[in-house]
Amino acid sequence: MKTDSIFYKIFQTVPSAFFELIGETDPRSSAYGFGSQEVKQTSFTLDGIFIPPLRMRQAPIYS
């Protein structure tokens, strides 16, 4: 995510900024964390992904 490093740093530091930008007002959104994930296939990397905590398994994942 070299070209989008500023967004990566912002979302990693303040994940709630993403949810404000998309207009999501659910208070559970503050529990999300942001990071980079690699999906084993032939190696498929998601540059940035918002993942809810395990206790919120039914919540959506944003990428």
For 22-57, give the DSSP string.
TT---GGGGG-EEEEEEETTTTEEEEEEEE--GGGT
Q: Is residue 22 part of a domain?
A: yes
Q: Is residue 41 part of a domain?
A: yes
pLDDT in tens, 10-59: 888 888 899 999 998 888 888 888 888 776 767 677 778 888 989 988 89
Q: Is residue 61 part of a domain?
A: no
pLDDT score, position 21: 92
pLDDT score, position 1: 46
| Domain count within the chain | 1
For the range 28-32, what are the long-range contacts, defined as Cβ-Cβ under 8 Å and sequence gap of 24 or more?
Answer: 28/52, 28/56, 28/59, 31/56, 32/59, 32/62
Q: Is residue 62 part of a domain?
A: no
C-alpha–C-alpha distance, residues 49 and 40, integer Å: 15
pLDDT score, position 23: 92
Model's pTM, two decimal places? 0.57
Contact (CB, 8 A) for 39 and 61: no
Q: Is residue 17 part of a domain?
A: yes
